Amino acid sequence: MIDNRSGMVPIMYVGRAFARHTEWHDRLYGTGVIWTEDNNIQLVPKIPAQKMLKNNPDCYRKADVGDVKDGINAKSNAKAKLDISGIEKMISELSDIEVLMNFAKSVDPSKELDSSIPLADLKKEVIGMVREKEKKRVESQEVDLERLIKSGKETSDRVAANEKAEMDTSVAKQDLLNIINGMDNKESLIEYAMSNPDLVNVNVDKRKTVAKIQEDIIEGLRAVGKVY
């Protein structure tokens, strides 16, 4: 299994394996990553991720912020319903008023309840308190999630911009290197060196061969990060 924590890419499995299996295990690209229906977005090292996206677009696609948000919402909503139903069932089965009142205090300490009302009515009121608290929790979670999604989108955009800038810089460096290597005239090379402020400390000697002058210029440019 590849153990490379740098340059990880969020990859969503979009194939049909879950119709027949509970999980999808990548062996073809050597990552050992496992996707499940509940966790179908996994981080994959950049190089095999690029191969997956290129060779098997029917099985994999790069996940975006919206995919992560949908996944979190689905899990969050399912968990909330499960928890609510369990709590309501527990309340409906309580027959001890004191226990019920103590539970109500744990839900909302500021709420004043009348212990003299019929038990069934008291249970309804406590269930209403639980639902209201859960509603506020979900609303708060949604606000936090939106904030997280916004932050994630900003980060994603920033990373994409940085990657583009790095690519543009890489291309520019290679282009400049190709230009220098393509100049086979001493006069042109010397004129370029003398007019380039990045090469003020480079001593270009016209008595040298074209190849040597090129080498001196490239070394000077490499020293200031203009070429590889």
User: How many domains is the chain partitioned into structurally?
Assistant: 3
Does 175 reside within a domain? Answer: no
Whether residues 36 and 111 share a domain: the answer is no
Whether residues 89 and 39 share a domain: the answer is no
- pLDDT confidence of residue 201: 86
Does 172 reside within a domain? Answer: no
The model scores a pTM over 0.75:
no
What is the chain's pLDDT, residue by residue, as a tens digit (228 residues)? 333 444 788 899 999 998 888 999 999 999 999 999 888 888 899 899 999 999 999 999 988 766 665 565 555 555 555 456 788 888 888 888 888 888 888 988 898 888 888 999 999 999 998 888 888 877 777 666 677 667 666 766 776 777 778 878 888 899 899 999 999 899 999 999 999 999 988 888 889 999 999 999 999 999 999 988
- pLDDT confidence of residue 13: 93
Domain ranges, residue 32: 8-63
- pLDDT confidence of residue 92: 87
Q: What whole-number distance in Å separates Cα of residue 113 and Cα of residue 129?
A: 11
- pLDDT confidence of residue 168: 82
Whether residues 25 and 41 share a domain: the answer is yes
Does 168 reside within a domain? Answer: no
- pLDDT confidence of residue 5: 43
Does 169 reside within a domain? Answer: no
